Chains A and B, each alone.
Chain A
Amino acid sequence: MGSTQVVIIGGGATGAGILWDLSLRGISATLLEQGDIANGASGRCHGLLHSGGRYVVKDPETARDCVAENRIVKTIAPHCVDDAGGLFLLCPHDDPAFFEQWWRAAGDAGIRSRWLSGEEARELEPSLATDILGAFTCPDAHVDVFRLVLANMQAAVARGGQFHTYSKVNSIHVASGRVRGVRYCDTRTGEEHEISCEMVINAAGGWAESVAALAGVEVPIHCDKGTLLVLNDRPSSRVINRCRKAGDGDILVPAGPVSVLGTSSMPVPGPEGLTASSREIDALMQLGIELIPGLVNARILRIFCGVRSLYNLKQEGGAAGREISRGFAVFDHETLDGVGGFVSIVGGKLTTYRLMAAHVCDCVSKKLGIDSECTTAKVLLRPAIDRKTHRRAIQMLPQPVAERIERRLGPEVDRVLDSIEAQPELAELVCECELVTRAELEYVLGKSTPLPAHTIGDVGRRTRLGFGPCQGTFCGYRAMLAGFQTHHWSASQAAAEFSSFLHERWKGQAFIHQGQQVEQLSLSHDLYGADGPICADSGEEDGK
């Protein structure tokens, strides 16, 4: 039976931010996440670090929050952010009055912006449609969500924080009107564990309602699904927004070697079982083509859906997804429901995760009777790499590989370089699309890393393995062998891991009905068998 001061339920950006914040305040905390990092909304969004531009007109308060947090995240986690900048485009059919409104509101919110003519915009971004009338610049950026969540968690662990992935909370013990502890189940082994604690923070996003129910309280969230497309190209080097009342498909975010186009919005009953329809996908592509005509030839790599959990005040005839504020709310259940030691945080967005965490931690530390201040805005999530290490990396590895591995691992890259020095064949590339070396793969699978990977998907989230055009067809197989070789899995476990990884990857490509990804998927199916579970190897199992 473990024991800690605070248990955090939910390993998305908010939960990770809370863990870090608490650790800086010297409060012991353990984070429990039912899947791997950023399992919910965090891992299924654009990865857009908002400049605030999307909210200036509708929700100036949120916009101001974004402006501040945008700057802060860029300061504390530069290795997670690609400060590409963004544009808000005025398209021919959009309302020019809104454009005016936007400009004034942006000024009020403090967003640094300047106006560009259509021609100037096209000079910056040659792929833009020729009928774009003008654009505003803004400090939008892309943030690698997995890296950001990882960074928060790793920093917290270095200061005594604890976390467990694949740990699903199935019971919250409430006694005498106070939370006493939680019971959770390791979803991989089936083992159950108990932790006693003084406080529980419900940061479970789309699952916040079901977690709250474990403590016998209600948290009124509203689930809203957004579909996003990953394109195998970078038609723009900046974030492209459409300057109009927020609608579907009007953001394109360059995300490393790919781009993410989206999104849509429709209410869904819960956070699981999300699918995209081909009509949705076509609609998104059409909207994208209005901004960048070249997208008509783009190769869609993958389609995924994420759920936003929005909170609505209990009202008759609740508004549809988009009108609900993207702001957040902290529920103090002691005050609201008489359950002491239980706090929920719902709503919000990726960009303001740190702010949300700060609010929650302020509330929690007060309740714990600890006088503390939030310092997350000033502390770097990861120290910079020193020059000696950098030189070493450049010497031992080809430049692009060194660059990538430094960005991913930071100072930890020394450990990987050590292993390559001992065994030069570990410099071999396992994922050629994303430049992941065998050494890095083994490091990520190993137990000495603060956040070990348990599945090939986990490896992907930590290294981007399988995120490229082949979607894991080649590198996933090699990762499976690596997991087997490092005694992570037995042979049949490894094959099973690979099977479920592939299925996950295949699902994301299933609705793409044209273009080269279909061929890529065919290749994958042919190699590993499309009929039935691939462990059965084309149906010879079980007496067929």
Chain B
Amino acid sequence: MRPDDFAIDNCLKCAVCNDACPVFGVHPRYPGPKHLGPELERLRREGVATDTEWLEYCLGCHRCDLACPHQVSVSEMIARAKAKHRKPLARSLRDWWFARPGLLGMLATILPALSNFALSMRPARFLMSRLMRIAPRRKFPAYTRPNLHSPAKETTSGDRMRVVFFPGCFIRFNRPELGRKVIDLLERNGFAVEVARTDCCGVPATANGDEAKARSLARANVRSLIDHVNAGMRVVTACSSCGFMLKTGFGGLLDDDKEFADAARQIGASTLDIGELLMAQSDAGKLNTTFQPTNLRLAYHAPCHQKAQGIGRPWYHLLGKIPGVAIEDIDAGCCGMSGTYGFKQEKYNVSMAIGQQLFDRISASQPQMVATECATCQMQIEHGTTFKAIHPVEVMLQAYDGRPL
């Protein structure tokens, strides 16, 4: 899968992408990635008007790209078409906000307690559902005062390998303490961590059809990160979607931008998922394995954007190294949340139908907790099952201290 070329010519119409598509599997009328992608793309190039509401139903999970035997970048074609799709006012307004979790987070964390209260109030949710088509059954994650900073200078000296942490909006505005745990975990494993002053990675903007916003975010992030990367530092992400976006050089959005194209690619080449990074440490014999014995039964769910990075399943293996942890790879497809997708009223049922297989398999496995790197996967799992979801970083960190989770 190469995100830098459209490769429409590679399509043999085999429809394996349709088989892989989670939406196609649950929605009887969804035309499927084969049609929305390469088939309509041919006509788009000819100038035929091909806009369709169905483009909005694409999850952006990239499973079609992974399944394609001939390297057609199906989801990219759909994303580009989605950006040109015209929506009615209510949804345009909603999606404008959804495209900007950075802005939303900044506003909501001015007075987080008030924001959380407002977002959970019944009347407010009723209005949001009516006016902006936001699914009333969804719980918004709580906002907290953002206080994630780079660690003090003393800890960044020495012969530790320096990395720059890209926290992403969820950690920054909803769970900064998770961000601190990421830093703690990295420090315990021999890294010196700096937190980058970065913006939203741009995945929600792309998913909501706002290419211009995604592009401006990409430029801002490149400016923030390029000096670190040029100095030889690796960029570390703890969120699969952020990691995916960075690794693709910001989705190829800056390919035509002479000033930023190379820098974006460089950053992409230097980005590592934290699981990937720790696995490399383990391979070099440098993983901190001072785990306290524990007794924990976990299920692991690989987020779609994690699979789409092609790094294997490092967290599954890492957690398995903790003595007393029994871990099962659920491997039951997409959870259905896909970031902002599951919050949309018109897509709520699709989202839950997609996740049903995962919910059932988790129930059958009866773990104590489900470990998964993606915040919205966690939300979906907790919404659709009675099980708690947790970031693998937290499991590993807790294992050092022997504290219960």
Contact = CB atoms under 8 A, between A and B. Distances in A.
Interface of A: 232-234, 237, 254, 256-257, 297-299, 398-400, 403-404, 432-433, 435, 468-470, 473-474, 515-516, 519-520, 523
Nearest to A84: B47
A520 B12 contact: yes
Interface stretch (B34-42, B114-122, B218-226): B34-42
A435 B50 CA distance: 11
Interface in B1-51: 8-14, 34-35, 39-40, 42-43, 45-51
B70 interface: yes
Given A299-B9, A515-B9, A516-B11, 5 more contacts: A233-B8, A403-B49, A404-B48, A432-B34, A516-B70
Given A469-B13, A470-B12, A515-B9, A257 B52 contact: no
A36 B52 CA distance: 36
Nearest to A520: B12
A400 B49 contact: yes
Contacts of B47: 237
The 10 closest A-B pairs by CB, nearest first: A299-B9, A257-B42, A400-B50, A257-B46, A470-B13, A400-B48, A520-B12, A234-B45, A399-B49, A432-B39
Contacts of A470: 12-13
B50 A399 contact: yes
Chain B residues touching A, range: 20 to 34
B356 to A, nearest CB: 28
Contact of B35 (A233, A432, A469, A523): A432
Given A516-B9, A516-B10, A257 B45 contact: yes
Contact of B14 (A257, A297, A435, A523): A523
B30 to A, nearest CB: 13
Contacts of B10: 516
Given A399-B52, A400-B43, A400-B48, A516 B12 contact: yes
A256 B46 contact: yes
A139 B261 CA distance: 37
A12 B40 CA distance: 32
A131 B14 CA distance: 39
19 contacts: A232-B8, A232-B9, A233-B9, A237-B47, A257-B43, A257-B45, A257-B46, A399-B52, A400-B48, A400-B49, A400-B50, A469-B9, A469-B11, A469-B42, A473-B13, A474-B13, A516-B70, A520-B12, A520-B13
A257 B42 CA distance: 6
Contact of B42 (A237, A468, A516): A468
Contacts of B50: 399-400
A398 B13 contact: no
A232 B42 CA distance: 8
A515 B42 CA distance: 18
Contacts of B40: 400
Contacts of A468: 42
Contacts of B35: 432
Contacts of A257: 42-43, 45-46
Given A257-B43, A400-B48, A433-B39, A298 B12 contact: no
Chain A interface, DSSP helix/strand/loop, else mixed = loop
B45 A432 contact: no
Contacts of B43: 257, 400, 435
A400 B39 CA distance: 11
Nearest to B41: A257
Most chain A CB within 10 A, of B34, B48, B52, B70, is at B48
A128 B381 CA distance: 52
Most chain A CB within 10 A, of B46, B50, B52, is at B46
A254 B47 CA distance: 12
Contacts of A433: 13, 39, 42
B52 A233 contact: no
A368 to B, nearest CB: 45
Most chain B CB within 10 A, of A299, A400, A520, is at A400
Interface in B206-248: none
Most chain A CB within 10 A, of B13, B45, B50, B70, is at B13
Contact of B51 (A299, A399, A432, A516): A399
A398 to B, nearest CB: 6
A180 to B, nearest CB: 50
Contacts of B12: 469-470, 516, 519-520, 523
A156 B35 CA distance: 38
A298 B49 contact: no
A399 B9 CA distance: 24
A185 B11 CA distance: 43
Contacts of B11: 469, 516
Interface string B43-83: 10111111110000000000000000010000000000000
A234 B9 contact: no
A254 B45 CA distance: 11
Contacts of B39: 432-433
A403 B49 CA distance: 8
A298 B35 CA distance: 21
Contacts of A398: 52
Most chain B CB within 10 A, of A404, A432, A470, A519, is at A432
Given A234-B46, A257-B45, A433-B39, A297 B13 contact: no
Nearest to B10: A516
Nearest to A435: B43
B134 to A, nearest CB: 28
Nearest to B9: A299
A298 B9 contact: yes
Contacts of B34: 432
A155 B379 CA distance: 64
B9 A297 contact: yes
A279 to B, nearest CB: 23
A237 B48 CA distance: 13
Nearest to B47: A237
A516 B68 CA distance: 14
A516 B42 CA distance: 15
Nearest to A255: B46
A229 to B, nearest CB: 14
Given A257-B43, A523-B12, A403 B70 contact: no
B264 to A, nearest CB: 21
A269 to B, nearest CB: 37
Most chain B CB within 10 A, of A234, A254, A257, A298, is at A257
A428 to B, nearest CB: 11
A378 B73 CA distance: 48
Contacts of A516: 9-12, 70
B261 to A, nearest CB: 16
B257 to A, nearest CB: 15
Nearest to A407: B48
A398 B51 CA distance: 9
Nearest to B69: A519
A121 to B, nearest CB: 19
Given A234-B46, A257-B43, A403-B48, A519 B70 contact: yes
Nearest to B52: A398
B29 to A, nearest CB: 12
A299 B52 CA distance: 27
Contacts of A519: 12, 70
Contacts of A435: 43
A516 B9 CA distance: 7
A256 B42 CA distance: 9
A254 to B, nearest CB: 8
Contacts of B45: 233-234, 257
Nearest to B51: A399
Interface in B79-95: none
A487 to B, nearest CB: 29
Contacts of A520: 12-13
Nearest to A398: B52
B81 to A, nearest CB: 12
B24 to A, nearest CB: 14
Contacts of A232: 8-9, 42
Nearest to B46: A257
A35 B379 CA distance: 65
